[in-house]
Amino acid sequence: MILRLIRDLSISSDEFRAIWAHHDVAVRRLDRRRILHPEVGTLDLNCEVLLTPEEDSKVLVFFPVEGTDPRERLDLLQVIGGQHLGTAI
């Protein structure tokens, strides 16, 4: 079914053929990720993919949605930094 759709779009659309040939159709530039941090718990974050012009290297950038709980938890991480919050032995 998918192969037929690709064939039909390739026949009927110059734009689709150009995009499909360049392979940009599979690049996800923005996503949501859930990370479990041992000190502050679950963080739901936006993840943006930054590519070099040659698209041979990428950087993942994580940032909280403004006004959400992950923003407060990340702010807490700035305060506690590398402190060990476990029980002293």
Domain boundaries, given as residue ranges, for the chain: 26-81
On the CB side of 65, CA atoms within 13 Å amount to: 11
Q: Can you read off the two tokens belonging to residue 12?
A: 């009927």
Q: Which pLDDT belongs to residue 11? A: 93
Q: Which pLDDT belongs to residue 24? A: 59
Cβ atoms of residues 21 and 14 within 8 Å: no
* Element housing 74 (H / E): helix 69-80
Whether the model clears a pTM of 0.85, i.e. scores above it, the answer is: no
What average pLDDT values come out for the chain (89 residues) when binned by 10 residues?
88 88 68 87 88 82 82 83 61
β partners of residue 51: 58
